Amino acid sequence: MKLKYGVMDTEIFGTIYILVNEKELIDISLSEDDWKKALKKYEVEYCQENTLIKEVCNQLTEYFKAERKEFSFPILFSGTPFQQQVWNELLNIPYGETRCYADIANAIDNPKAVRAVGQANRKNPIPIVVPCHRVIGKDKSLTGYSGTRTDLKEKLLELEGITI
């Protein structure tokens, strides 16, 4: 079964790619390179008029206008059980708040897994919606976003009223 995808133009990221199955959001690619990686994993077809894609775009637009603090569409994680545990914990970080990697490791009852939490964060397939941007260094410093894009992380945090 082919998955559906659509595109959305944003001020912060430029064009992003949204990938869904029949019921759930599966992936948001923030760059052309990320999208090329997703295309290696999935068989896709363009369908901008898909109901779920339109809803994801609408809610992201509201988020970027600072009119939305939570997303209300279903998501589906594709990752290891540990990664999924980390990503589910990220969903518990409220809009406008941050946590450090150690906080996440402690919250999932694995306090020694700080580095592994960082790696899971980096592999988050649904950024923005699953707010990996809200995880910062213990010293309150910005750390990589989507690899090394701390500038993007900073913009998302500023959107949420957080100054680092």
- Tell me the one-letter amino acid at 125: P
Two tokens at 142?
A: 């910005």
Distances (CA, A) of 96 to 68, 99, 133, 164: 11, 11, 11, 12
For 125: left if phi > 0, alpha if psi spans -120 to 50, otherwise beta; the answer is: alpha
Where in the sequence numbering do the catalytic residues fall? 132
Using CA atoms, how far residue 7 sits from 11, 57, 70, 135, in Å, is 13, 8, 21, 26
Distance CA 128, CA 45 (A): 23
Question: How far apart are alpha carbons 119 and 124 in whole angstroms?
Answer: 9
